[in-house]
Amino acid sequence: MGRRSDARERLLTAADQLFRNRGFLSVGVAELCSEAGVNKGSFYHFFPSKRSLLLEVVEAAWDETGMLRQWEAEPPHRPVDALRSFLEELFAFHYADQEASGRVRGSLLANLSLELAPQDPEVGDKVNELLSREIGAFEALISDALDLGQVSLGSPLHAAQALVGSLHGLLMLARARNDLSVLPDSENELLRLVGVTQPWL
């Protein structure tokens, strides 16, 4: 057995995997402990409840590519390039996840939002906070691209909402069909949605 700090990490990793596979409600604390190789006492030492573990997992899993946090810290100089890189890395993440897990598991945030958000205000608030940050990060980028004349849309907020909706919806579709080929072949289709009229810019 590793040190205590390993136990905490192992619980987070096990939870991330089990919640992606089967959602939150059908995964129990006993199974989380068994998967992580941790006893129940340790579990409750680190996490007061299964929900508190979930909130931490979602916070960590929210930004799959790590790029949204980067943008929040420092806005990229080339917003359309940044958007394209984000879409490439996001799609690559999901192809790699399918390779590793054997099936298309979609977006943890969207999955949880549909499984839990209406019944569970605490999870609902967290999901909303993260969706708002995601929309905000795109809105800032699209706004910068608008200033540079690279997009032709009037409302960066609406474009950002449409993009976030599309991404999570496409991942829902891919998960339902267990087939990532519903993702666009190129990023240009999604860039068109945010008003990038010349996607090669």
Site size for a copy of itself (CB under 8 A): 46
In the complex, what is the shortest distance from the CB of residue 119 to a copy of itself, in angstroms, rounded to a whole number? 7
12 binds a copy of itself (CB under 8 A): no
184 binds a copy of itself (CB under 8 A): yes
27-56 residues near a copy of itself, rule: CB under 8 A:
none
Contacts of 172 (CB under 8 A, 6+ apart): 106, 107, 110
Q: What is the residue whose two structure tokens read 């004349």?
A: 149
77-116 residues near a copy of itself, rule: CB under 8 A:
103, 106, 110-111, 113-115
- Distance, CA of 138 to CA of 182 (rounded, Å): 22
Cβ atoms of 54 and 16 within 8 Å: the answer is no
Among 70, 158, 199, 201, binds a copy of itself (CB under 8 A): 158
131 binds a copy of itself (CB under 8 A): yes
141 binds a copy of itself (CB under 8 A): no
Concatenate the DSSP letters of all residues of 71-113 into one string. HHHS--SSHHHHHHHHHHHHHHHHHHHHHHHSS----HHHHHH
61 binds a copy of itself (CB under 8 A): no
65 binds a copy of itself (CB under 8 A): no
Q: Which is nearer to a copy of itself, 118 or 149 (CB)?
A: 118
193 binds a copy of itself (CB under 8 A): yes
Q: Which two tokens stand for residue 104?
A: 């298309």
Q: What is the residue whose two structure tokens read 């409302």?
A: 155
Reduced to 3 states (helix: H, G, I; strand: E, B; else coil), residue 143 is helix
Cβ atoms of 32 and 52 within 8 Å: the answer is no
Looking at residue 52, its amino acid is: S
What residues line the site for a copy of itself (CB under 8 A)? 21-23, 25-26, 103, 106, 110-111, 113-115, 117-119, 124, 127-128, 131, 153, 155, 158-159, 161-162, 164-173, 175-177, 182, 184-185, 189-190, 192-193, 195
